[in-house]
Amino acid sequence: MQNAIDLAIKGKYTTSPNPNVGCIIVEGNKILSKSYHCKSGKDHAEVIALKNLKKKVNKKMVMYINLEPCCHTGKTGPCTKTIIDSGIKNIEIAMLDPNPVVKGKGVKELRKNGINVSIGLCKNEAIKINEDFITRHKKNRPYIVLKQAISTDFRITNPKSKWISSNLSREDSHFHRAESCAILIGSNTVRKDDPKLNVRLSKEKLLVSGSIRQPVKVILDSRLTLNINRYKVFGGKTKKIIFNSVKTKSDHKRNIDYIKVKKEKIGLDLNLIMKILANEYEIKRLLVEPGKELFSNFLSKEIFDEIIYYKSPVFVGNSGLHNMNTEKSYLKNRFLILDSVKILSNDVKIRYKLKE
């Protein structure tokens, strides 16, 4: 199963909104066929593995898949039908599909057709590689990662330098952009930094064939005060979504969707925005690159799953903006757990997960 999981991970920059799925077909100790799902609309892992199988199916063969096979027709046909028709009689599945359209029904269908199905092998590892897909289906919102580059004294701006973190940290952060379906920022960051908000890594670095998927750009601009002709984020062909409290409209020429949402005491309704991103745009993983205000608001509302800090050894002092509103206290009933620490030249990347 670990083999199937390792294969599934290969699709992480391209599969969205679909889950990461890998599959191997084994006879005895020999792997006869292996595959992974690489793009929505293309064949699912199980179907490719069966197509690639050079030997006639026999009763000793076992198929290992990290996620329950689908039993509905989406952009492709149901995998359960292909599996049943193939004659495979033994299947190991790491976990059920959290998508209510499939959950348990795929397994039921396979068993009904005389296939031995076992569930749960390497379940925790399988959950880890699809935490975004699971979050979208279970919580009706994307998996949310808050990412900031900070100085030793927790400043996110430095009047003396454009960047807080090192080249290596910034390159690393582009891998997070690449695996995200969308990147979200607040209006002040557009005004101050004028970011492009795209992925600037080569296909070779990402190990992908075909074109690199550019994440949807999401901007929170309550009063629509940003001039779309002026800032880089509004240029190019990539889909842009501007959440605001003024209008809902589509600008097809610029590929911008304006979506009106309710304003709250502080900013736009983040819960509603997350719901819209998950349901209407199928965003399973969202990277937020927040300034002080936006970061504080995500913390207050406790709608996030991870915090990633790129911490540089620089001291900025009071001339820099603090990364959050320190007058408030956050996470009164919840806490962060350290997920990983990585050294990137002179910086440290610290990854925290919000404990359920």
Would you say 33 or 148 has its CB closer to ligand NAP? 148
Residues numbered 321 to 350 that lie near ligand NAP (CB under 6 A) are 321
Is residue 189 near ligand NAP by the rule CB under 6 A? yes
**DSSP string for residues in 93-128:** ESS---STTTTTHHHHHHHHTT-EEEE-TTHHHHHH
3-state secondary structure of 283: coil
Would you say 63 or 321 has its CB closer to ligand NAP? 321
The length of the chain, given as a count of residues: 356
Q: In the chain, at which residue ranges do the beta strands (DSSP E only) sit? A: 22-27, 30-36, 62-65, 90-93, 116-119, 143-150, 182-186, 216-220, 240-244, 249-251, 256-260, 285-288, 306-311, 336-344, 347-354
Is residue 19 near ligand NAP by the rule CB under 6 A? no
For ligand NAP, the binding residue among 99, 130, 169, 297 (CB under 6 A) is 297
Is residue 172 near ligand NAP by the rule CB under 6 A? no
For ligand NAP, the binding residue among 111, 138, 192, 200 (CB under 6 A) is 192
Pairing verdict, β 182-186 and 256-260: unpaired
Residue 317 CB neighbours (<10 A): 12
Packing angle of the helix pair 45-52, 79-86 (nearest 10 deg): 30
What mask, x for binding ligand NAP by CB under 6 A, covers residues 101 to 140? ----------------------------------------
Tell me if 118 sits within 8 A of 93, measured CB to CB. yes
Q: How far is the CB of 183 from ligand NAP (least distance, A)?
A: 11
Tell me if 198 sits within 8 A of 214, measured CB to CB. yes
Would you say 24 or 324 has its CB closer to ligand NAP? 324
Tell me if 247 sits within 8 A of 229, measured CB to CB. no
Would you say 3 or 188 has its CB closer to ligand NAP? 188
Count of residues of this chain found to bind ligand NAP when the rule CB under 6 A is applied: 29
Would you say 7 or 274 has its CB closer to ligand NAP? 274
For ligand NAP, the binding residue among 268, 274, 286, 316 (CB under 6 A) is 268
Side chain identity, residue 217: K
Catalytic residue set: 46
Is residue 186 near ligand NAP by the rule CB under 6 A? yes
Handedness of CA 294, 300, 301, 304 (dihedral sign): positive
For ligand NAP, the binding residue among 53, 164, 178, 197 (CB under 6 A) is 164
Residues numbered 202 to 231 that lie near ligand NAP (CB under 6 A) are 220-223, 225
Residues in contact with ligand NAP by CB under 6 A are: 148-149, 156-157, 164, 185-189, 192-193, 220-223, 225, 266-268, 270, 289-294, 297, 321
